[in-house]
Structure 1
């Protein structure tokens, strides 16, 4: 008999506090979905330029067990994230809405050493260490932070470069005469 059918499936609460302690060592699978606003995600909140109504992330997870040759079946977690946050555009230094839509797959390992030994070549799934008090909220927040673009910016043609980055923008067509830095030394020699 397939272990997925023999094990009970637990419905996770959508409350952020309920996601802080989940027993992924228990012989059961999990399913859940909900919405996390930016204030529910304190590390993400540090990155945003502004919190706009509706900003946050819809999440959904589902776990199941897959057979593993020569050992107990491994629990697999599929995590989906979809949402929006506002960051500072690095081109114009104004607020910029960033939409994220991510799907991740994780494999639970019994120990830290097993997770460390997991092959890096397997890009389809990342190892996590199962625990009786697993912090799923922290994992969701980690994945959002990893998905944020390094250099957020508006789409091409939407904004102009900010003057403080590329000069003040005045008289750009008029060539300016630079002062010779050695004039100071020349004046000192005369005195």
Structure 2
């Protein structure tokens, strides 16, 4: 590729079906953005506790070629998303909306060997093996799934207290002494 050559930029469709086969092997750059509802991302929909109209993600993607000293320019992909979905709060076990925002940069490579040779200490960008029939939708869905919190929970102070959820402390006038559950076993031993 000639370093002074101006490459065409292709506008990506925001339809999920159009992103299932993107040819990253041709010397052109891509740009796209849009909104995907949770229902358009089936693996993510399985993780959601409920799907409310309007739940989903705004996304934007752009690729460009960067010069690399001593070799051909390599293609970089900047993309990000911002959105929300509903998960079960692990503190109160109620539904909670979780906001997710992510920005990433990938260096597009043609083979696994190139990806393995990429310096692992570069935390700003990581290699992504692409092809002529690259499923961009699946890759983005993978990244959204990876950004889900391990333990989803409401912000501090938004959950009901533990006692009210599980019914403890509800009877103020009750006795403070509880019956020992092993008394039944003790009585069995006597017989």
| TM-score in terms of structure 2 length | 0.87
1:158 pairs with 2:158: yes
What residue is the counterpart of 2:28 in the other structure?
A: 28
Q: Residues 4 and 64 of structure 1 are in contact (CA less than 8 Å); yes or no, is this contact kept in structure 2? A: no
What residue is the counterpart of 1:37 in the other structure?
A: 37
The whole-number CA distance in structure 2 between the counterparts of 1:35 and 1:170 is 46
What residue is the counterpart of 1:57 in the other structure?
A: 57
Deviations 1:134-159 (A, max 9, x none): 11101111111111111111111111
Shift of the 4–35 alpha-carbon distance from structure 1 to 2, 3 Å rule, reads: farther
Q: Residues 78 and 103 of structure 1 are in contact (CA less than 8 Å); yes or no, is this contact kept in structure 2? A: yes
Deviations 1:15-73 (A, max 9, x none): 10001100011110000111111011011101101111111111110000111223221
1:112 pairs with 2:103: no
Shift of the 105–43 alpha-carbon distance from structure 1 to 2, 3 Å rule, reads: same
Shift of the 26–46 alpha-carbon distance from structure 1 to 2, 3 Å rule, reads: same
The whole-number CA distance in structure 2 between the counterparts of 1:97 and 1:4 is 48
Q: 1:73-84 alignment to 2 at 5 Å? A: 73-84=73-84
| TM-score in terms of structure 1 length | 0.87
For structure 1, the 5+ residue unaligned runs are none
What residue is the counterpart of 2:180 in the other structure?
A: 179
